[in-house]
Structure 1
Amino acid sequence: MKNTFGTNIAMTIFGESHGPMIGCVLDGLPAGFEISLEQLKADMDKRKAKGDLSTRRQEGDEVRIVSGFFEGKTTGTSMCLLIENTNTRSSDYAALKSRLRPGHADLSAYEKYHGFQDYRGGGHFSGRITAALCAAGSICRQVLEQKGVLIGSHILNLHGLKDTPFSDDPVLLKEQIQYLNAQDFAVIDAKAAGLFQDEIRKAARNLDSVGGILQTAVVGFPSGIGEPFFDSVESVLSHLLFSIPAIKGVSFGAGFDFAGMYGHEANDPIQSVDGNLVMMTNQNGGINGGITNGMPILIQSVIKPTPSIYQPQQSADYATRENVTLEIKGRHDPAIIHRARAVVDSAVAFGLLDLWMSKMAVEAFEPL
């Protein structure tokens, strides 16, 4: 099992859903950046389960920074972030030890780890582990914000219902990101927020769940960062985003809408404005040839419906190889998309910071 990612900064996650704690180690962070513990708490709160839209397993998610942080700033040494699991009910999973939950990683985990994996609450496969990623991402976001980079996401689509997309106007886009980052339920249109929440409650009443699409925007990120092929901006960010358990699709800019376009519609016209080269549209989502072009980075992430639902489902027992009717008990989310946006922002922040540091490392050795 490999739980480390990154080139110039490395992120290692650890823990299980029902273990004593989960956490993350960030190695290679530059020294001297101010880190607000209040902002860290606010970012963690966006991921936390709250009210009737989320699971009744509601953890405190208090982050302890036990190294790499002194007198309010990064020290340049490894930063270790710890989060205790304080609200587990492992007995909910005892009867499911070898009964495979549809939509979960149970079958693939058995095939890989031969039954030695921690099955409680999904173990290391659980969305619970994304709390550690969220904590690490908050640190990276704060570093990027001190460099003028803003990241934000909203629910663009929930079970077919739609929110207002991000604006093409850079000034308004920045305002939208700032607005969303202050919201618990990240939607641009207030009317859509009510409709989305009603749809989640309807799914819960039907013992079911719903998914949707998150749209993420990044403003203020410099041009010229990324590589043409294997370390393209899309490659790195997709790698990170697909590590989030619920994500099943990622696209950039117009994404899959490119399939219905002509070339003249897909291309972004370039003009010289006051001596600066500017793209007049942003169909390519701020990236060409794997490298940032200075326009806002736009990403769409598909979040699947929560696999833990209370309806009877057809399944099988891994140990006995007998077919069973599975009825899941315990505490589960009717939707996780509104909580996942904080995790997506965190993954994007980590990836962009690592890519930027790669660019700086190369520039240090470029001929004068």
Structure 2
Amino acid sequence: MKKLLKLFSVSAACMALLFLFACAEAPEEKKAEEPAKVDEAAAPAEAPKTVKAGFVYVSPVGDAGFSYAHDQGRAAVEALDYASTSFVESVPEGADSERVIRNMARKGFDVIFTTSFGYMDPTIKVSKEFPEVSFMHCSGFKKSANVSNYFGRIYQARYLTGLVAGAMTKTNKLGYVAAFPIPEVIRGINAYTLGVQAMNPDAEVRVVWTKTWYDPALEKDAAKSLLDAGCDVIAQHQDSPAAQEAAEEAGVYSVGYNSDMSSFAPKAHLTSAVWNWGPEYVKVVEAVRNGTWKGDESLWWSMQDDVVDIAPMGPMVPEDVKNTVNAKRDELKAGTDTIFTGPIMNQAGEEVVAKGATIADGDLLGMNWFVKGVVGTVK
């Protein structure tokens, strides 16, 4: 009996020890059953969107001119690690451009930049077929839910180049080789002429229309006709440097456009009105990427946005002229734009803008008349 009692006592003691150990382990088991907390900050983010951007050019890219300037902007987009780009050059306005734009949309481009005025209607037409694509049309005025138009206040740079040209002419006759009589070109001629006359009230600007954006032979012939008329400074609204070359060959001065054209006429080139599309093209692509891009907008970027400027003035330009031009440039960069502030006269000598009044943007965008001092017609 004693042995049984002793065995029972040992068993009871073991049971008690087991119970104590079980109680001690219980809190850990309960803790292990609690769901693990998820660190939301460490959760994998959604992969960023890669933007595919297309560009359509009216002339060859080359190494100067309007399409060259746009392609420099494309290169800034291509440098982004989240973007890829493609372009088609020398696309005629009209049916050909519609085909090229539609082909890009079919290939899955997220944003398409159509960079010539005559691409406006084809852009609008194709945009209706591809509402998921963002379209940016340069220099036009039509827009829709997925089409915005854009341009720059290149007239500001035109005015500055006019200041230079007005100070450098000896004959008081300046020539201007111009593409088409549309508001964009007319506005630039007027701004240039106002700059010329600010430095030389007796000077006149003679205009010859080529009715083409890009035709080097025709552009050069137009420049020669102005040289034959006694012009000693040749400016242009054309895509090639042919007018610059004609001035160089004749031993007179020139003013370029779109990009710095000094390399084509180093002895003639006074300066150029130039484009810098890169900063804004990058912003557009960023907006498409993050979903903040808006259609149905009209964007008109200025010298403050670094989209328009002038090329360095040539060594033949006197320091006092450079100082005058740079002072006006500083005003424009600061946002003070009085280029189209009256009094302004038209070709007939009639006051069309009163003293102190400024032409509204809408009227500038539709400008179809020449200021006093321009010799030529708007047709």
TM-score by length of 1: 0.25
- Which structure would you say has the larger RCO, counting Cα contacts within 8 Å and 6 or more residues apart? 1
TM-score under structure 2 length normalisation: 0.25
Larger CA Rg, structure 1 vs 2: 2
Structure with the higher helix share, 1 or 2:
2
